[in-house]
Amino acid sequence: MRWQGRRGSRNIEDRRGRRSRGGRVGMTGGAGGLGLIAVVLIGWYFGIDVSPFLQGGGTQSSVTQSRPISEAEQREAEFVSVVLADTEEVWADLFRTQVGTNYDAPTLVLFSGVTQSPCGGASGATGPFYCPADRKAYLDTSFFTTLEQQLGAGGDFAAAYVIAHEVSHHVQNELGILGQANRIRAQSSEQQSNAISVRVELQADCYSGIWAREAQARFNSLERGDIEEAVNAARQIGDDRLQRSQGKVPMPHTFTHGTSEQRAGWFAIGYEEGRIEACDTFSAQSL
């Protein structure tokens, strides 16, 4: 991915270097029947924060320590800033031309280790997430290492897909989709709520595809193999693949983000179509 030398975003809140020591302990009581490991894996799906489910029965350390930012971390922050700036330009134009309104860009919080949000505590274990309460995306860039080494989805554009996916949840929030979906989920059975969550996540994948298309058209940022990196990342975090990686038989009624094929497929729809209306997963008869 070609990203060096381009504008970076000002909508970055950098909390790195302010790291809590110790953190929350005794959290297993809040995980319920899912089990702590399963809940943590949900955080790897690039979805909404799961840490509120991890907060039962523990105490939070208030001791913090400062540390210098490494050169590698600084480069990661510059990369994130450029990708975020790209999303700002792309979605501002798409909102003008396809929605007929202005786009209010989110803030992205960079943190190391653990931090707090209105949606609950965030840590490297929960993975990147978007919190609609404060309209911010949260990212510990060490997740990029997890993405490559544990999930088998390395590369700059795979990392950019992670950022674009979380920004896509903000796009859903701006359009009123996310709030409506969450209200319906709160009144639904667990299985129905899961099914709605799948459609929310697949739509975010589709929006990510739109961003990839526009990023190439505007900035000529894609290199050979970049789309394959993003599609591979989408495949690697499918519910069916993640459940198989735990030695389980995939159980569709428990899916919250969609299968590998669905995630890759909806990213491809967004990339090929380039239209917000093409990403209406809620009206789709077949996902």
What does the alpha-carbon distance between residue 90 and residue 37 come to, in Å, rounded to a whole number? 37
pLDDT band at 175 (very low <50, low <70, confident <90, very high): very high
SS3 of residue 120 by DSSP: strand
What does the alpha-carbon distance between residue 151 and residue 64 come to, in Å, rounded to a whole number? 30
What percent of the chain has pLDDT above 90?
A: 45
Strands 136-139 and 129-131: antiparallel
CB atoms closer than 10 angstroms to residue 265: 19
pLDDT of residue 81: 94
pLDDT of residue 251: 84
Say whether pLDDT at 139 is over 80.
yes
pLDDT of residue 127: 77
* 49-73 pLDDT tens trace: 444 434 443 334 344 446 667 777 7
Q: Which of 159-163, 198-202, 243-247 has the lowest mean pLDDT?
A: 243-247
Are 82 and 7 contacting, i.e. CB atoms less than 8 angstroms apart?
Answer: yes
What does the alpha-carbon distance between residue 33 and residue 111 come to, in Å, rounded to a whole number? 30
Mean of the per-residue pLDDT values of the chain: 80
**Mean pLDDT value of segment 154-181:** 92
What percent of the chain has pLDDT above 70?
A: 81
What does the alpha-carbon distance between residue 162 and residue 190 come to, in Å, rounded to a whole number? 26
What does the alpha-carbon distance between residue 94 and residue 80 come to, in Å, rounded to a whole number? 21
What does the alpha-carbon distance between residue 201 and residue 279 come to, in Å, rounded to a whole number? 11
What does the alpha-carbon distance between residue 127 and residue 194 come to, in Å, rounded to a whole number? 19
**Mean pLDDT value of segment 215-236:** 83
pTM across the whole model: 0.80
pLDDT band at 27 (very low <50, low <70, confident <90, very high): very low
pLDDT of residue 59: 37
Which contacts qualify for 100-104: CB closer than 8 Å, 24 or more apart? 103/171, 103/174, 104/135, 104/174
What does the alpha-carbon distance between residue 209 and residue 261 come to, in Å, rounded to a whole number? 14
Instruction: Please say whether the dihedral angle defined by the alpha carbons of residues 273, 236, 9 and 174, taken in this order, is positive or negative.
Output: positive
Say whether pLDDT at 89 is over 70.
yes
Q: Which of 6-20, 70-84, 148-162 has the highest mean pLDDT?
A: 70-84
pLDDT of residue 221: 83
Q: Which of 27-41, 79-93, 122-136, 151-165 has the lowest mean pLDDT?
A: 27-41
Strands 107-110 and 136-139: parallel
Q: Which residue has the tokens 């390395």?
A: 154
Q: Which of 101-105, 156-160, 199-203, 281-285 has the lowest mean pLDDT?
A: 156-160
